[in-house]
Chain A
Amino acid sequence: MLHLVVCIKQVPDSREIRIDPKNNTLIRQGVPSIVNFYDLHGLEEALRIKDEQGARVTVVTMGPPPAEKSLKECISLGADEAVLVTDRGFAGADTLATSYVVASTISKIAETWGPVDMVFCGKQTLDGDTGQVGPGVACRLDLEQLTYVTKVVKVDEEQRRVTVHRHLEDGIEVVETSMPLLITALKELNKVRRASLPGMIRAARYKPTVWTTADFPDLDKAQIGLKGSPTIVAKTWVPEIRSINGERIEGENEQSTAEQLIAKLWEGELPTRMGWTG
C-alpha cells in the first residue's frame, strides 16, 4: 500500500493581521490560527488517492504544542496518523532549518510506519510565505520534486510513476516522474472536503504522536532552530507608499480634458519608448 506523508503548518491567518498605526507593529491578538490552506489541498489530494487506490496517510508538522489542533483537524478529514515534532530548540527556524527537521521526521515516519512513496507540501505558507520548505525537504530526502501542481493525473503504483500538471506563469506543464517524490500543491489541485461525523469522533479521541529532539539521537543540534538558520531578519518596517498628489486635468468638456491628458502623456518619453506613432 502507498504511504503518503502530508506536511502541514499551523499559521496565524495573516489576512486578519492588522498594523497598529501608532507604533507600526503587528497586531497579532485575536488573530485566528488555521491550517495553512495550501497544505489542506495537499492533504485532500493524499486522501483522494487513498479513496481511489488505497493508501496510508500520515500528517506531520513541526511547531509548538498548540499545533496539535491542526493535526486533529487533518485526522477529522481522514488522515491515518499525525505527528507533532516540537521542541524549544526548533524555535526561530528559517526554511533551511525547518526542512532539516521536517525531513528528519519523515525519515523517522518511514522507519515507524513503512517507506514513504509521496510527500505533499503546500505551495507556500501564509506566514513564512517562501515556498522553500518543500524543495528543501525533497532535496534532503533525495525525492523527485514537482512544484506548483494543479492536477495529479495518474499514480501508477506498479510502475512507480506519477503524472501531474504543473502550473507555470506561461502555461501548464505535463510531467511524469518516479516515486518517491514530493509535490507542492496549488489551490486549483482540488476542493477540500468537509470532515465526516466518524472523522470528527476519531479526531476528538485521537492523540498525535509527539516527538522531541530526544527522539532523534542523530539530529545535528547545529542545524536546528535559530542557530541552524542562515537567514536573519535585520529589520522590519511598514512601507510608506509614496503619495504623489499630481496634477488635476480639467477641460471644458470631456473632449478637451482627453486632449489635454494625451498632450501631457506625449510630453514625456513614453511615446518613443512604446513606439507609439503620432
Chain B
Amino acid sequence: MAEEQVEAEDIMPDWSAFRGVLIVVEQRDGIAKQVSWQLLGEGKKLANKLETKLMALVIGHEVEHLAQEAISYGADEVYLCDAAELKTYRTRPYSRVCLKMIHEFKPEIVLFGATATGRDLAGAIATHLPTGLTADTTQLDVEEHPSRLLLASRPAFSEKMMATILCKQYRPQMATARAGVFQALPRDTTRQAPIKRIDNEMREEEIATRVMDFIRETGTINLEEVEVIVAGGRGLGGAEPFKMLQELADALGGVVGASRAAVDAGWIGHDHQVGQTGQTVRPRLYFAIGISGAVQHTVGMSSSDVIVAINKDENAPIFQFAHYGIVGDLFKIVPAITEAVKSKRGLFASVGGQAHE
C-alpha cells in the first residue's frame, strides 16, 4: 500500500461500464470453501448499497451444483467455467478464466477469500489487469453512487492498527477477505438466477504445472470455520487438562483452542492457537478457560457471538469481553459444565467420558 493520500488526482474517470460485485468462489473436489458463501453474504450488502447485482464466478470440473449453491447463497448472476483442465487449481488456467470474465462482464468490485488459493489467484490477476488489490481485509464497505468506492479495511502492523485502503484510479477494485469474519446469508434453495457459461481456453498441453498429489491434513484444524471453540490457557497448568476441555468440546460439537502461553509451553499444537499470531476466529460460542485476556489473544476472538470466560481471578481482563463470566477454579467448573451439557442434550457418558450421539 502507498503511504500517503493523493489529493490532486481525485478526479474520477468514467467507470459507468463497470457494474456489479463479483465473488470468486473457491472449491476443492466440488466442495466450496465456507469463505465463498461468507463473501456472498457480505457482497450482497455492498451490492445493495450500490444498487447493483451480486455476481459469482465458479471455476472447476463437475461443479455445476456450486453454481446453484451460489444462487442459494445470494448471487444474482452466476458465471460458470467447467472443464477437465480446471479440476484442481492452477494459477495460469484459473487466472485466464477470471481475466476473461472480468474483461467481458466488467464487475466494479472483485472479492476473493484470503486463502492460499485466493491470494495466489488474486495476486496474479491484479498484476495482469492491472489494478489495485487490498490483502486480507476484515471490514468492507462502499461509498454510494457516484463515487462507488470500495472501503477495504485490514489489520496492519501485527494487528495493532486498522487501515482503510482505496483504489480510485483503476477498475475493478479488488480485495481478498479473511475467512470467518463475514456472515453468509441463510441458504435459500428457492432462489433462481441465470447461470452463464464461460469457455475454458487453455488446453492441457499449454499448462506447465501438474498437481501430482494432495495429502489432506486430518490432524490440523481450521478454527476459522468452527462454530464452537473451547479454548484453554496457562491456567490449565499442563497438557493433561486439555483432555477435560476436549470432553466439553465434544459434548458441544466443537474443537479445542488455546492461548499462546499454552502453545508455547508445548501443551497443544500451534494450529490451535487463537490470536494475533494464531488464527482469528468468530464462532457462535467461545469458551476462554484459564486465559487472562491479553490483547494479542482478544483481537483473535472478541467477535465471537457468545463468549464465556472462566477464571479464578475476578479482575482478569477477559471478563470485559465475556457475555457470561464465571469466577472460580476451572478444574471444578469445567467438568460440571460438561456434565450439565450432556444431561441437557441427553448424552450419556461412556467409559472414556466421551460423548456419543
Contacts and interface: CB of A to CB of B under 8 A. Distances in A.
B123 A131 contact: yes
B336 A255 contact: yes
Interface string B108-131: 000000011101101110111011
Most A CB atoms within 10 A — which of B156, B228, B343?
B156
A231 B115 contact: no
Nearest to B121: A135
Nearest to A269: B284
B156 to A, nearest CB: 7
Interface stretch (B52-60, B71-79, B233-241, B301-309): B301-309
A99 B327 contact: no
A258 interface: yes
Contact of B116 (A144, A148, A250): A148
A238 B210 contact: no
Given A17-B157, A130-B136, A262-B341, A139 B2 contact: no
Contact of A168 (B117, B124, B307): B117
Contacts of A146: 209
B316 interface: no
Contacts of A254: 328, 332-333, 335-336
Nearest to A153: B212
A144 B206 CA distance: 12
A196 B326 CA distance: 55
Scoring B209, B228, B319 by chain A CB atoms within 10 A of each residue's CB, the highest score goes to: B209
Interface residues on A, range: 35 or more
Given A96-B132, A127-B157, A264-B324, A232 B4 contact: yes
A200 B270 CA distance: 35
B6 A232 contact: yes
Nearest to A12: B157
Nearest to B338: A258
Nearest to B228: A274
Given A230-B170, A235-B163, A175 B327 contact: no
A156 to B, nearest CB: 13
A204 interface: no
A87 B92 CA distance: 33
Nearest to B163: A236
Given A92-B2, A170-B216, A278-B345, A129 B135 contact: yes
Chain A interface, DSSP helix/strand/loop, else mixed: mixed
Given A17-B160, A92-B4, A170-B217, A247 B324 contact: yes
B123 A175 contact: no
A243 B319 CA distance: 9
A177 interface: yes
Nearest to A167: B116
A268 B306 contact: yes
Nearest to A13: B158
Interface in A76-131: 91-97, 99, 126-131
Contacts of B299: 239, 241
Given A129-B156, A171-B217, A246-B324, 12 more contacts: A95-B126, A128-B1, A138-B124, A147-B116, A148-B120, A171-B215, A174-B212, A233-B3, A233-B163, A237-B162, A241-B295, A258-B340
20 contacts: A15-B158, A26-B157, A132-B119, A132-B126, A134-B123, A135-B123, A136-B123, A147-B116, A229-B132, A237-B162, A238-B160, A238-B161, A242-B302, A244-B320, A244-B322, A246-B307, A249-B326, A250-B327, A257-B326, A274-B252
